[in-house]
Structure formats: C-alpha cells, structure tokens
Structure 1
C-alpha cells in the first residue's frame, strides 16, 4: 500500500482493462483474430506504458471462461493469458460478454474511474463491457487497433460474410455515439500520464 493515500487514489481513478487477451484469440489466424500479430504488439506497448506510468493505473486482466472443448476452455493452453499479470494485478474470470456481470469487477473499479479498454472481441465483450461501464458512470476510452474480432456472417442475408475490420469499425462508431472516447495508438504517450 503506498504511504501517500493521494497516490493510491489517483492510481485507482485510472484503470487499464485487458479483456480476453488470451492465447487462443491471439494465435495466428484462423484460430486467432485476423490481426492477432498487430493486436499483440499494440497491447504489449499499452501494457508496458501503463506499468511504467507514475503512478501506474490499476491494471486488471479479464479472462473468458469458455465451455468444454472451446478454444478458451479453462486450464487449456488457449485459455491462458498472453501477458502474465504482475502479483498486484487482479485477474477476473468471466462467463458472460459483460465483464461486470457475475464478477467482482465492479468492486475493483470505482464508478468515477476512467477505464482504458483493450482486447477481444470487439462486437461481444468489448461492446458489452464498455456499455456497462458507461452505464455505471465511468469514462471509457477505447484504443483503436488494440481490440479485434473475427469475420462475421449475416445469416438473414444469405450468409454474406462481413470482414472483421468492418465489424470493428461499426462497433467503434456505435460505442463512440454512446459516449466512449476513441483513441489512436499515437495517443499512447499521454494516456497514462499523471493529470
């Protein structure tokens, strides 16, 4: 525990939330997302920047718990976190898209905290968790090219394939309209700077 309570308060008012940054999702395609190499590199840079900030934000790793025989089935190689958490970085296991649903995440993040979100999948866990955080009153920052998903399909439209990049862009626009702040990787040097 820091000796200066102001430092602790400042640190917890900023959170880096790594959603489902797991081995199966960041494997080379087709198991992993289409841009797994870029996402790995960008999330690595963001995590390094956050860990070196003075004071660092609260860094929380969220791990999706898949069903039996799914790539992220618990205690399988695909379920493992890509970036090992440091001892003081909490790990939350979730069963739903919304990382706040049925977990202790809401207890860890104050409702006035600013949450920086990265990870997978854009149209599921990213969308649901960002929306839930906005509903709690959090300011939510989503870093472009630090989240990704898979190609989709419109079953109602004859099975037309939707490229992952299109899904990511449409979800970003939807979240921005709802109040999420979109950031670029070029914004990284200032994201965790003490303000």
Structure 2
C-alpha cells in the first residue's frame, strides 16, 4: 500500500435520523477511524449524496448535511454525487489518481446501494478496497432486515471477491503504518 485514504460515504443527517441498523456502533467505529486517520496524517475524504429537489437529501437542507459526529474538518474534501457510485461524475477517481492513491478504506451508508456501487466501481478501477467491520449500515426493507443486508453484502458478496472485510482494530493498524 503506497497511499491510503478513508472514504466516508453518505453519512448524512436524513439517513442517520432514520436510525439504520447498528447505528451507534457504526458511527462510533467511523469516528474512531477518522480520528486515527487524522492523527496519522492519512487523508479523509467525504462523499455526500444529493437526491434532488423535494427529497430528504436535497442539496442545502439539513438532511443533506454530513452528520455532525463525523463531520469533515475545514481542509477535508467533500465530493458531491447524484448517483449510487461515489465515482460516477464526481471527480473522485481523477483526484485519487492525481494523488497516487491505491487503497481505499470504505465506510458509510447504505450498504446495498451506495457502498455496494462504490465498492464495485473502486474494484473496477483497480483500487485495493478495505471495508472495516461494522462501519457500513442500512435499513430494513420488504425482504431483509438491515442486519441481514449488512451480513449478506459484507460477508457473502464483497469479502474476498471485491474487498477485504476486516476488523476496525486491523484497519487502525493500517492507518498508523508510514506511507
């Protein structure tokens, strides 16, 4: 791993206010990873979703804002998106390539939508992807609980196919390694 970033996707007020599965643990784990990354001079990048006018994720309204417990510092970049993938029409890939980033630690919401699309897009672009356990989440739907969706994607779809799903403690160690 030459260069590593922590990519925080769609941890926005409107989604957190709906109380996704394992919400408190996920936020705490993300908060710890952000703190470790910053303490070790590793870049933290944010992605924020705009779902359009009249939605709970409309640009500029409170629901669209990044959740305060994990909010970016003034100098940290936010990539704005309108699609599930953090790579589609955002400039993220160009930024990562320009800065010779080869490894992405991926966290955020929602497991089966934007995290899945971002994970697979990153894989297609030849980045090494790491997903720390209990750092992505989602909601119950008509077919599966948020817990089952989390388990299915993390351990059946992604792990050892598109990414490595490893413990938060292991990821903290990676973040403390010199570049």
- TM-score in terms of structure 1 length: 0.82
Is 2:62 aligned against 1:77?
yes
Alpha-carbon distance, 1:112 to partner: 5.5
Alpha-carbon distance, 1:66 to partner: 1.4
Is 2:52 aligned against 1:67?
yes
The match for 1:145 among 100, 113, 134 is 134
- In the aligned structure 1, how far is the partner of 2:51 from the partner of 2:101? 31
Residue in 2 that maps onto 1:90: 77
Q: Note the alpha carbon deviations across 1:127-147, whole angstroms, 9 max, x for none.
A: 110111111110000011010
Q: How many residues align?
A: 173
Alpha-carbon distance, 1:17 to partner: 0.2
Alpha-carbon distance, 1:165 to partner: 0.8
- In the aligned structure 2, how far is the partner of 1:94 from the partner of 1:189? 27
The match for 2:148 among 166, 179, 195 is 166
- Mark the runs of 5 or more structure 2 residues left unpaired by the alignment: none
The answer to whether the 8 A contact 1:16-1:58 is kept is yes
Is 2:98 aligned against 1:103?
no
Larger radius of gyration: 1
- In the aligned structure 2, how far is the partner of 1:150 from the partner of 1:12? 35
- In the aligned structure 2, how far is the partner of 1:169 from the partner of 1:175? 10
Greater RCO between the two (CA within 8 Å, min separation 6)?
2
The match for 2:109 among 113, 120, 123 is 120
- Structure 1 runs of 4+ with >4 Å offset: none
CA RMSD of aligned residues (A): 1.8
- Mark the runs of 5 or more structure 1 residues left unpaired by the alignment: 1-10, 154-160
- TM-score in terms of structure 2 length: 0.89
